């Protein structure tokens, strides 16, 4: 996906059913956006033992600049409602690895009467796996430098105790080296989850899962 020079849009691939992007293309008729498709040559794919079915059905919707439902600036994805699900691009519970070189914000609209939001790993044994080649268990803040998510000023107890921002590893937890997932709560609006991955699509190491990305369920709390 490409647009005006200077735009920060990630290149994506793999399985992305149900995903979306919001792209600010400007206010004039001269502004445009363009989708580019790049395919591996069949001979190269066969040599690497890869087979794939290339299918896509992309819906494009234009919004007025003044539409009240438009996302805040800097939000590549925008969710609304008191509960929902967030997945990184190409997240697949059965296979695959995360996409490299990602840097974008997933935003959730704060609903009236709700002051906090809680994130929980989806019911999948690898629902949170980022930078697993070097990290077993949970890692936070300075322990996350390659692939991680960022939920600024979050905690396990909704603004109580130590506040944390970065999370990575094989588990989502505010406690470093924890081997179990826990819910993460953020009471600092606007509600955003930053997704950051380096240039490598980690395949994992022996006896550990591949670094697949994440699937989080969220719900807003009064």
Quick check: 51 pLDDT over 70?
Answer: no
Q: What's the CA gap between 179 and 172, in Å, rounded?
A: 9
Quick check: 58 pLDDT over 80?
Answer: yes
Tokens of 100: 């490299």
Give the residue with greater pLDDT, 65 vs 116.
Answer: 116
- % of residues, the chain, pLDDT over 90: 58
Report the pLDDT averaged over residues 187-210. Answer: 78
Quick check: 209 pLDDT over 80?
Answer: no
pLDDT value at position 84? 98
pLDDT band at 36, cuts 50/70/90?
Answer: confident
- Do residues 13 and 56 make contact, with C-beta atoms less than 8 angstroms apart? no
Residue 99: count other Cβ atoms within 10 Å of its Cβ. Answer: 20
How far, in Å, are 30, 31, 49, 65, 84 from residue 27 at the CA level?
8, 7, 46, 7, 31
Domains observed in the chain: 69-221 (2.60.120.290)
Quick check: 106 pLDDT over 90?
Answer: yes
Report the pLDDT averaged over residues 169-190. Answer: 95
pLDDT band at 160, cuts 50/70/90?
Answer: confident
Q: What's the CA gap between 107 and 192, in Å, rounded?
A: 4
pLDDT value at position 199? 87
């Amino acid at each position: 996906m490409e647009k005006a020079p200077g735009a920060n849009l990630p290149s994506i691939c793999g399985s992305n059913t149900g995903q979306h992007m919001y792209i600010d293309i400007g206010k004039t008729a001269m502004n445009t956006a363009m989708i580019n498709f790049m395919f591996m040559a069949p001979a190269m794919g066969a040599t690497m033992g890869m087979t794939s079915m290339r299918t896509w059905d992309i819906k494009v919707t234009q919004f007025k600049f003044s539409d009240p439902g438009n996302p805040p600036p800097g939000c590549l994805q925008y969710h609304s409602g008191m509960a929902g699900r967030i997945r990184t691009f190409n997240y697949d519970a059965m296979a695959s690895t995360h996409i490299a070189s990602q840097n974008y914000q997933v935003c959730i609209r704060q609903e009236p009467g709700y002051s906090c939001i809680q994130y929980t790993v989806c019911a999948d044994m690898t629902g949170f796996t980022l930078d697993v080649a070097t990290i077993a268990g949970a890692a936070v803040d300075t322990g996350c430098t390659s692939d991680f998510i960022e939920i600024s000023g979050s905690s396990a107890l909704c603004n109580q105790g130590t506040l944390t921002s970065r999370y990575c590893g094989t588990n989502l937890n505010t406690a470093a080296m924890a081997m179990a997932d826990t819910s993460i709560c953020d009471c600092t609006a606007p509600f955003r989850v930053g997704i950051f991955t380096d240039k490598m699509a980690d395949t994992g190491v022996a006896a550990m899962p591949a670094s697949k990305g994440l699937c989080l369920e969220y719900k807003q709390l009064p």
